[in-house]
């Protein structure tokens, strides 16, 4: 598996007024309307192993600060951080990742980490703001689809004519191009498929694009904010779409064969290009403007989320960051925890931090109000207890 990473900045050409480090004219273009999904059809064809690596090495671009820098600040929960609305806030990007084959006999997960988007964007694009790109690709039916998508999706995005002025359209086009390429490239197994979840960040604006059942979760002062939906066939919106297009769901599987409702590849199931079927390669989008309360992002394949909740993952990552401030160790901790909980799948976890500093301690303000039970309430309680 090839990993991409880097430290740094990047930005859009400004054709209008600059506000908060952003060009108004450019950033408004990211708000384009979403198109309706181009749905397609697929089964889950298990493929023999293509490669059989053991534990993938866990790598990080976090540089640990001095010991004194690891001492977290303290914020009061329930009180808005005074800097959260600071217009001058600009996130930094440092990340770590870890993958493990788990109990399976072969590895089909791939992922990508780019902390410095500028190194992958032509100068003619003229990016003005810091940028980063992250993604997880959970393959099935062989590793071809996941490996191809991991190597090419970012290139398809930044080379699209709509990037960076119309980011959603560029990402949507890139998903479609990758999907079609999996059908046209003779060296690839057309029966292979993959889910795809990516996070593209320009300045403070983070765009999540998801097709499949991987998940992106934002850690916001200790709270878990899910930024993607698991595209399972039984999910209400996916079930309605599948049935409308003539598909069926049997025991949680699309057409009795596939455990996801959206994926790239699997052209032996989709049939002719352009045909509408229950399986869709259309990504679903979520956009967030980052603030100082947004501490980190977790991206993981379904093998992780099958055995732990989003809130639990955020809680343990925050706790670990307060100890050592290293996203690589956090991603490794998540994978090990999932293995302890008997995950039955390949495992991949990415942790992306938006600050050089560890998360601050959170304290709940004490109240001076004294709470007591009334005499009537005490008598009622005595009566209830005496009847037990």
Q: Which residues contact 304 (CB under 8 A, 6 or more apart)?
A: 215, 313, 334, 335, 338, 343, 347, 348, 349
Strand partners, 111: 136
- Minimum mean pLDDT range among 100-104, 271-275, 333-337, 356-360: 271-275
* Model pLDDT, residue 7: 42
For 207-240, the pLDDT digits (tens) are 999 999 999 999 999 999 999 999 999 989 999 9
User: What domain range is 283 assigned to?
Assistant: 94-353
Residue with more model confidence, 27 or 269: 269
Residue 362 located in a structural domain: no
Average pLDDT over residues 133-157: 97
Residue 37 located in a structural domain: no
For 263-273, the pLDDT digits (tens) are 999 887 777 78
Total number of domains constituting the chain: 1
- Cα–Cα nearest to 108, from 80, 133, 137: 137
* Model pLDDT, residue 195: 98
Q: What is the largest CA-CA distance in the chain?
A: 82
Q: Which residues contact 322 (CB under 8 A, 6 or more apart)?
A: 72, 358, 359, 361
Q: How confident is the model at residue 39 (pLDDT cuts 50, 70, 90)?
A: very low
The enclosing domain of 289 has a CATH number of: 3.60.40.10
Residue 73 located in a structural domain: no
* Model pLDDT, residue 367: 67
Residue 235 located in a structural domain: yes
* Model pLDDT, residue 246: 84
Between CA 146 and CA 137 the distance in angstroms is: 5
* Model pLDDT, residue 86: 57
Residue 71 located in a structural domain: no
Average pLDDT over residues 173-192: 93
* Model pLDDT, residue 368: 65
Average pLDDT over residues 103-117: 97
Residue with more model confidence, 210 or 242: 210
């Amino acid at each position: 598996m090839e990993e991409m990473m880097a430290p740094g900045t990047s930005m859009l050409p400004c054709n209008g007024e600059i506000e908060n480090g952003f060009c108004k004219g450019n950033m408004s273009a990211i708000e384009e309307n979403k198109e309706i999904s181009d749905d397609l059809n697929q089964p889950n064809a298990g493929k023999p192993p293509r490669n059989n690596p053991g534990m993938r090495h866990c790598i990080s671009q976090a540089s640990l600060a001095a010991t004194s820098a690891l001492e977290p600040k303290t914020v009061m929960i329930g009180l808005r951080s005074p800097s959260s609305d600071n217009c001058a806030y600009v996130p930094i990007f440092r990340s770590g990742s870890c993958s493990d084959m788990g109990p399976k006999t072969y590895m089909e997960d791939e992922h990508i980490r780019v902390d410095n988007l500028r190194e992958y964007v032509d100068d003619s694009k003229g990016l003005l703001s810091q940028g980063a790109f992250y993604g997880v690709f959970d393959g099935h039916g062989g590793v071809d689809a996941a490996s191809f998508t991991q190597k090419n999706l970012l290139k398809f995005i930044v080379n699209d004519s709509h990037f960076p002025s119309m980011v959603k359209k560029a990402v949507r086009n890139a998903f479609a191009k990758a999907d079609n390429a999996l059908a046209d490239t003779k060296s690839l197994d057309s029966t292979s498929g993959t889910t795809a979840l990516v996070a593209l960040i320009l300045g403070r604006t983070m765009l999540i694009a998801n097709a499949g059942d991987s998940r992106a979760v934002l850690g916001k002062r200790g709270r878990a904010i899910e930024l993607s939906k698991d595209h399972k066939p039984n999910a209400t919106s996916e079930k309605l779409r599948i049935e409308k297009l003539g598909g069926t769901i049997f025991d949680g599987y699309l057409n009795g064969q596939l455990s996801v409702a959206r994926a790239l590849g699997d052209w032996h199931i989709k049939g002719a290009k352009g045909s509408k079927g229950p399986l869709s390669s259309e990504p679903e989008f979520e956009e967030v403007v980052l603030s100082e309360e947004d501490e980190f992002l977790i991206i993981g394949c379904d093998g992780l989320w099958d055995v732990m909740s989003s809130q639990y993952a955020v809680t343990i990552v925050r706790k670990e960051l307060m100890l050592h401030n290293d996203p690589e160790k956090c991603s490794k901790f998540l994978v090990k925890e999932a293995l302890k909980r008997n995950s039955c799948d390949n495992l991949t976890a990415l942790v992306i931090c938006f600050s050089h500093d560890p998360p601050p301690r959170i304290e709940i303000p004490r109240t001076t109000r004294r709470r007591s039970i009334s005499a009537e309430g005490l008598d009622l309680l005595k009566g209830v207890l005496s009847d037990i």
